[in-house]
Structure 1
Amino acid sequence: MTIAAYAAIPRNTHWGVVSVVVGSGIVTAMQVGKAAIATPLLQTDLSLDLAAAGWLTGIFAVLGLIGGIPAGTLVARAGDRRMLIFGLGVIALGTVIGAMAPGFPVLLASRALEGFGFLLVTVAGPAILHRVVQLGQRDLAFALWSCFMPAGMALAMLAGPLFSDWRTLWWGNAGLAAAAIVAGLAIVPAAPARVSVSWRSAASDALRVLTSREPVLLAVCFASYSLMFFALFSFLPVLLMEQMEIAHGTAGLLSSVATGANIIGNLAAGYLLARGTSRSALLSGAYLIMGLTGIGIFLQVFGGTPTLTLCILFSGVGGLIPATLISSASLVAPSAALAPVVIGLIMQGSNLGQVIGPVTIGGAIASYGWKAAAGIILISGLIATIAVLVVSFSDEPTPKSPSEEANR
């Protein structure tokens, strides 16, 4: 079955399916947030410093760092629903292993396994939405999808302090992953037929995208955003506990509020883009505001309440970035058929930032204190702003070439 035939399948939007897919994404994002809220407990139980705790978040994205494009091809060959269910199963398995881990090495390995499941879910989810959502309603569906990361992290930070220890939190997340598997099997329909993809053509597609300027720059932009976001939110509960001298549970609640503000930014991006707002202006403005607020947060020049306000602003404005970058994939793709490959590359950039951010910031804080993080945040914001200003966004996706269509 060719990509053109696959795209021509009539679709009716099934919002129940959309809800399950977005819910599955939220469950996967909770696996990121649980490490952040459990950091104080892990430090006590396993005698970890912040650098080691940063690895528990950073290792989560290592497979995604190199596997975004291959995962997209795997989803196309094996079926999006099947890979969604399999990814959730891998997350459940990794979480169970982590809950029983005798020490840091096994826990770290379990986090890498969870990260593999995360990669599959985050690649399969958009593929399912593309299949079941009508063209005129995709902006809304993908705006909802782009909220999965902040929503999942916020829920994890809100619920984390309710558990007596970090192992119980891990078991609870395994149960959520199992529930998502059941919902996916019951509600998400299988694709009518799978796309036939040649591994040789897949390699050619990947090379074409990797040698195109705009897709690579978008990946750099997402890497910078992800680095900035996870640099803060991987350690926000600890920062608030030190800055405001509050209890673990209150720090989790405040962190969830700050993280949840990112959802507003994601939804606002869809609205602003529909109103004709320049993508370059939207992205560059968001990066600069994140960089400046990051300085105020990590230099700790303000009191507790102003610092929390800056965290909320950092998160809310930052939410404009993911939805804008993901929706721009088809605008910078060498051809319309290569848009999924561009998305895979962008997600690899996201995972690069997710790896570098917590590890770099954790090490900097451990060696030089919280102020060391301010410079890293500002430099990341400036790099992304420069990259955005170089990108040329076309108004419409580039049409598919006849030779490319014939090869599919």
Structure 2
Amino acid sequence: MRQDPTPAAAGPRRIAALVFLLLAGILAGTQLGKIAPLVAWYRAEAGFSLVMVGWLTSTLGLFVALAALPAAFAIDRAGLYRSYLVSAIALGAGGVGLALFDGPLAALAARLVEAFGYLILVIAIPALLATLAPERLKAPALAIWGGFVPLGYAVADFLSAAMLPAHEPQSFLLVSVVSFIVLAALAAWLARGLEPIADTTRQVADTPGAARMASSFSASVALSALAFGIYVILSIGFFTFLPSFVAEGPAVALSAGMIALLVPLGNVLAGVLLKGGDARFAALVVMAGFLASAASAVPFFGAADPIVATVSAMVFAVAGGVVAAAIFASVPFIVPPGGSSAIVIGLIAQSGGLGTLAGPPLAGYIIGQFGWAGFGWTLAAFSLLGFACMAPLLARRRRLA
């Protein structure tokens, strides 16, 4: 990207670019969650089979699980801004096609185009945030990015509730993707030409791609990616079966949807805490989030008191938001010298994608074999495992200091 000719005047524009990149990311999350409110319609009115509906629902996440790291390599070679443009166009085109096509095969083809765009976008946007944000805003911007999926699902839920009673499902799909297109286009216009503030790839622009990829891997990166995968396993399992537990268990004061909406509060809290922080403090925040998850999982699934269950669920949701946000916010701190933020984010996304595939079946098995109380203890164990993953980072940073 070319250097902005008027860097002093680019301050407000840079901040606006960051805001619209985040908004475009949230609306990308909406494309992930927009199928859920339409499952009954796809089956009853559009004549889709359960298998086809399942593919429409899971294709975007499946692409991330299978190809996030290879996509990160490609993004690193092609450039962040160019990759963002390609991915936004693909996601927008696929979304429009999904809204217009009513045949199963055509709809699936459109969803595959969406999945290609989504795969690249969820790596390119946080990498752009990491390179374009001023130093004091890097951690908060990436922390907010850590909640783009639950926020996107919330937008999908609210938009479907507002539109579906009076409008056709195709109109809901079209509005959701057009909203993304508008925000993504504004973000592209604002970010065009902005000079990266601290792009670790610029100092090694002439380094061969293979060497830069190798430079992006380190113990800190691997442990952070592993911790994120563990978080996704426990988080996706929790929220997948939360509606069933709320229906069967004690009288929890909040609905499953309201509990899920507490996750972004954890993202915001992490962003506030990490403003001006460093790698060691980010590791401490992640560890604190995992400890809070461990402490709240057992009483939520094992307590008979509705108040204890409700408070525990709130703590677990907020703590999860803190963990996810703090891991993403730590990316500028853990990218090795000569490494690429896109590749590091790709590795984290790859780990999270695999956790998305493993979390629900593992949770279902535990609940079937050991009941809800056993599931609570399992979540606590995974939380402590995530805590243990981050401990070496803390010790390592202390030795370096």
Shorter-normalised TM range: 0.7 to 0.9
Q: Distance in 1 between matches of 2:93 and 2:369?
A: 35
Residue 316 of structure 2 is matched in structure 1 by: 314
Q: Is the Cα contact below 8 Å between 1:153 and 1:256 reproduced in 2?
A: no
Gaps of 5+ in 2: none
Q: Distance in 2 between matches of 1:243 and 1:109?
A: 41
Q: Distance in 1 between matches of 2:388 and 2:88?
A: 37
Q: Distance in 2 between matches of 1:316 and 1:156?
A: 21
Change (3 A) 1:28 1:235: farther
Change (3 A) 1:68 1:87: same
Residue 403 of structure 1 is matched in structure 2 by: none
Deviations 1:145-185 (A, max 9, x none): 334233222222334444548x9557524432233323433
Shift in Å at residue 143 of structure 1?
Answer: 3.5
Q: Distance in 1 between matches of 2:113 and 2:299?
A: 36
Change (3 A) 1:273 1:202: same
Deviations 1:340-370 (A, max 9, x none): 4222211222222222223443566678876
Q: Is the Cα contact below 8 Å between 2:127 and 2:345 reproduced in 1?
A: no
Residue 262 of structure 1 is matched in structure 2 by: 263
Residue 143 of structure 1 is matched in structure 2 by: 143
Residue 290 of structure 2 is matched in structure 1 by: 287
Amino acid at match of 2:239: F
Amino acid at match of 2:31: Q
Gaps of 5+ in 1: 399-408
Change (3 A) 1:220 1:139: closer
Shift in Å at residue 274 of structure 1?
Answer: 4.2
Q: Distance in 2 between matches of 1:153 and 1:209?
A: 31
Q: Is the Cα contact below 8 Å between 1:40 and 1:238 reproduced in 2?
A: no
The reply to whether residue 207 of structure 1 matches residue 207 of structure 2 is no
Amino acid at match of 1:356: A
SS in structure 2 opposite 1:319?
A: helix
Q: Distance in 2 between matches of 1:199 and 1:255?
A: 51
Q: Is the Cα contact below 8 Å between 1:361 and 1:373 reproduced in 2?
A: yes
Change (3 A) 1:382 1:245: closer
Change (3 A) 1:219 1:132: closer
Amino acid at match of 2:221: P
RMSD, aligned α-carbons: 4.5
Residue 387 of structure 1 is matched in structure 2 by: 389
Residue 354 of structure 2 is matched in structure 1 by: 352
Residue 68 of structure 1 is matched in structure 2 by: 68
Shift in Å at residue 76 of structure 1?
Answer: 4.3
Q: Distance in 2 between matches of 1:372 and 1:43?
A: 35
Amino acid at match of 2:210: A
Q: Distance in 1 between matches of 2:29 and 2:337?
A: 31
Residue 274 of structure 2 is matched in structure 1 by: 273
Q: Distance in 2 between matches of 1:142 and 1:200?
A: 27
Change (3 A) 1:8 1:63: farther
Q: Is the Cα contact below 8 Å between 1:95 and 1:171 reproduced in 2?
A: no
Change (3 A) 1:164 1:13: closer
The reply to whether residue 175 of structure 1 matches residue 175 of structure 2 is yes
Change (3 A) 1:181 1:352: same
SS in structure 2 opposite 1:335?
A: coil
Residue 86 of structure 1 is matched in structure 2 by: 86
Identify the range of structure 1 (288-297 vs 360-369) with the bigger mean alpha-carbon deviation. Answer: 360-369
Amino acid at match of 2:19: S
Amino acid at match of 2:137: Q
Q: Distance in 2 between matches of 1:328 and 1:117?
A: 25
Change (3 A) 1:29 1:305: farther
Shift in Å at residue 376 of structure 1?
Answer: 4.4
Q: Distance in 2 between matches of 1:263 and 1:355?
A: 22
**How many equivalent pairs are there?**
383
Change (3 A) 1:205 1:82: closer
Q: Distance in 2 between matches of 1:219 and 1:365?
A: 26
Change (3 A) 1:119 1:291: farther
Identify the range of structure 1 (366-375 vs 326-335) with the bigger mean alpha-carbon deviation. Answer: 366-375
Shift in Å at residue 226 of structure 1?
Answer: 1.5
Q: Is the Cα contact below 8 Å between 1:58 and 1:356 reproduced in 2?
A: no
Residue 134 of structure 2 is matched in structure 1 by: 134
TM-score when normalising by structure 1: 0.73
* Percent of pairs with identical residues: 22
Matches for 1:7-406 after TM superposition, within 5 Å: 10=7, 12-14=11-13, 15-35=15-35, 59-95=59-95, 113-162=113-162, 164=164, 171-186=171-186, 187-191=189-193, 201-210=208-217, 212-237=218-243, 239-241=245-247, 254-274=255-275, 278-297=281-300, 299=301, 301-302=303-304, 307-335=309-337, 337-361=339-363, 373-374=375-376, 376-392=378-394
Q: Distance in 1 between matches of 2:144 and 2:304?
A: 34
SS in structure 2 opposite 1:12?
A: helix
Q: Is the Cα contact below 8 Å between 1:87 and 1:121 reproduced in 2?
A: yes
Residue 406 of structure 1 is matched in structure 2 by: none
Shift in Å at residue 35 of structure 1?
Answer: 4.8
Q: Is the Cα contact below 8 Å between 1:265 and 1:318 reproduced in 2?
A: yes
Shift in Å at residue 233 of structure 1?
Answer: 2.6
TM-score when normalising by structure 2: 0.75
Shift in Å at residue 95 of structure 1?
Answer: 4.3
Q: Is the Cα contact below 8 Å between 1:80 and 1:128 reproduced in 2?
A: yes
Change (3 A) 1:224 1:126: same
SS in structure 2 opposite 1:326?
A: helix
Deviations 1:201-258 (A, max 9, x none): 3333333444x32211111101111122222234444554555899xxx99xx44432
